[in-house]
Structures are given as structure tokens and as C-alpha cells.
Structure 1
Amino acid sequence: MMDHSIKGKVVLVAGGAKNLGGLIARDLARQGAGAVAIHYNSAATEAAARETLVAVQTAGAEAALFQADLTGGAAVKGLFADVVTRFGRPDIAVNTVGKVLKKPIVETTEAEYDEMAAVNAKSAFLFIREAGRQLADNGKLVTLVTSLLGAFTPFYATYAGTKAAVEHFTRAAAKEFGARGISVNAVGPGPMDTPFFYPAEGQDAVAYHRTAAALSAFSKTGLTDIEDVVPFIRFLVSDGWWMTGQTVLINGGYTTK
């Protein structure tokens, strides 16, 4: 019988320095992961990554930091190679990397589109591709997308559009990797109470989002709290292994597909 527990497993969290990624790294360490590889993008997030490193080690797991810009294939390949060298093949890989842009289509520049496509779609594809090569048999792979995939709304064309590509990557990868027992899923949180959310939104928009979900009144912020997303990640990379090729929206009833 396949072992789907987290205990003793090697975990890679891309974008694992802070916010949701940092909490996922901490949580999986508390669940008994043997080693947690914490990826961060640049010097801007290095200090937060070091705080997460200490928290993971305090929880009892081995841990190490890995810096890379995941919009390039060589960097993604190098990240996985470095993790394999340090800890062995990862059993669990979670990619939380993403970038948001709220802007009308007619005002969006080609350079902005290219950056959004690189961060949200290309890096996700490269991560999934390398995970397919390097994950251990019966591994688990999760990519963060957005609940806007279930929305009918203006101004987020490049954000939702480039994340939408990940749905198709996920389905294809689930079929292709399934012969090795690897499950592949995408998770789309609603608007989250993190610094990632607020710069793109005005006060009126924030007020709307705080009341838009069916369960908003029962959230401490009205938004999706990262603490409410982590249990779903934990489930998908353990006992929820039978779910694969799916996009799961975790948003308290904010949008649905």
C-alpha cells in the first residue's frame, strides 16, 4: 500500500519565504516532514525566508534555502537539482509563485503582459515540467492559481488569463505523471489578507472583497485567510492523493466554476 503520509517526506515550497508559502512550509514541517526546501526569488525576500527557515527547523525538520528566478528553465532545473543533491528527490512540491496586475486591457503594455506571462504561466509550466522529472514516485504536486478563474470581472485579464493556463498544465500533467502515482492539482484561493493583495486594490475594492464571499462574516478579515487555505494543501499532499487534475477554489463562497 502506498504511503501518503507527510511524515519523513522531502518537501519543496516555491515562493516559500513568507505569506501563504511560508505558512505552508511551517505547517508541513509541523506535520512531520523530514526536510523542507524553501525557495525564494530574490534578496528582497531573503530575510523572510530566513525566518521561515528557523521556524521550520524549530518544528523538527531539516531545512535549507534556495534562491532562484523561476522564469528561466535553467534556474528551475538547477533548483530541483540542488534540492535533490541536498535532500534527495522531493516527495511533495508546492508552487506558490505569482504576480497580480489590476489594469484595463487597453492600458496594459506589452512589457507588462510579458512579465505576467513569465511569472504566472511560464514559471508554473517549468516548475511542473521539472517536477515531472524529479519528483519521487507517488509524489504530490500543487500549484497556486486564483479564484478569479471562476469570476466574470474586468481589469484582471493578464492575472486570471495567465493563471488559467495552469489549469491546462495541471490536467495534462495529471494524465502524464499518473502512471508513476503522482497527483497534480491547482488551488485557487480567494482574495487573501496578505501584502500581495492590497497594492492592487483601492479602498472601495477592498471593502467590496471583504463582504463578497458567502462566509465573509465568519472570517476575521472578511477575506480568505491563509490559515484557512493551508489545511487544503495539507490534505492534497497527503490523504487527498486520489484527487488529481483538478482546480480547487478555496474562497468561502467568493466565486465558483
Structure 2
Amino acid sequence: MWIFDPANWTPGSQSPLPIQDRLGEHLLYTFIAVLIAAAIALPLGFYIGHTGKGRQFVISFTGAMRALPTIGVLVFLTMVLGYSLVGTTANFLGTMIALVLLAIPSILAGAYSGLESVDRQTIDASRASGMTEMQILTRVEIPLSLPLIIGGLRAGVLQVIATVTIASYVGLGGLGRIISSGIGLNDYDEILGGAILVTILALLVDGVFALIQRLTATPGVGGAVETGRTRLRRRASGPLATVGTPIHEGNGP
């Protein structure tokens, strides 16, 4: 199989090889794009989730952003930036902006929906105990909503990993360069190998984020709520089934 051919992993191989170099570029582009997107989306999502302001706007905004054709945005930005910047710099900036725009909606949605999922009674109790709004946000809301916040990051990262392949269309690296090279050479083994590498990378990253979500979940929060409700139902229904004996009208002592 093409992936397991040692020649494709050997340093000094012709473009677009070796594989490890393209893999490193793919991860680098993903990391930069997600880092910038998180720096923009997380504070905004925390503000909206904590205050409740601008929620409808964000829902509309994220829906519109998801509909943007990433490759169209990439080509447009590359052309615009190319008038004032050197080719490689313009290509890199255009790619990063396109990927950041792709990642923001998922991260933003995860941040504000995570904070909105926190029980209002818990927040009111924290406020009544004298905690400031910043303390409530950092010590109560964010810790309790971490699984959903990480879920938003998880979705954003996976979208970026899958889309970084288009960077090869503007002359950058990444695993997409292997795919585009295979298309140009009509080498179906190389095309399939590049696609499998992207898939494996996405699955591995997804597994890591799934593990982080599990580890950051607050133990017993969901179970405690359900147990409390069950107990209330039992307390409400139990006495009704056991109090006294039926009284039948018209029966004497």
C-alpha cells in the first residue's frame, strides 16, 4: 500500500513527500487557525452565555458563517491580498483567514450554549453567596460547561482538519498537497493514501477530544438532578398509596 512504502517517508523525497513533513504542516495550519478562532470566539461566547445578550444575532451569524464556501473565500482572499503582499505570504494569510472563519461558528456555539446549560439556581446561589460576576463565570459556569465548550472546539478542529487540504490549491503544504499531486499524476494510490491519512488524523484527534470531554465532565451533576426528581416523585406518590383504608359511602361501622 502507498502509505506503507518506506520511500514515501524518506527525507529528501521529491515533492510532495515525505509524508511526515506534509503531516506536520497540516497540524501546524490547524493549530494556528483554531488558536486564532478560539481567541475570538470563546470570550464572545462566554459574554453571550453569561449575560444572554446578542443570542439571536449570534445564532443568525453562525448559521450564515457555516454557509460560506471556504474554497471560494480562500481564492477571493488570496487574490485580494496578492495585490499588496508577496505571493506566499498572501496565500498563507488567505488560508488562515478562511480556516478561522470556518472554525469560529462551532467554537462560538459551544461556548455560549455551554454556559446557557448551567442551572440558573446554581448561578443564583453563587451570586447570593457574594461571588462577583467574574468569579461566577470562571469558578462556576465555565467549569460546569467544559464538556460542551470542548465539544465546540472538537467540532471546529475536525472541520479545519478536513478543510486544510484546500491549502494545496494556493501552493501551500499539508496532506492536501499529496492528494492534489496524485490528481495531477493520475496516481490513484497516492490520492487514496492522502485521503486515508486525513481520515486517520481526524479520527485520532476526535478520539483525543472525546477523552478530554469525558475527563472534564463534572461527576454526578446529571445523576444528582435525576435522582432528586425521582425522590420527589416517590415522596409525593408514596403516602397517597399507603394512607389509611378506603372509605366506602353507605357502609356502617
Shorter chain as normaliser: what TM range? under 0.3
Larger RCO, structures 1/2 (Cα 8 Å, 6+ apart): 2
The structure in which a higher percent of residues are strand is 1
- What is the TM-score when the length of structure 2 is the normalising length? 0.27
The structure in which a higher percent of residues are helix is 2
- What is the TM-score when the length of structure 1 is the normalising length? 0.26
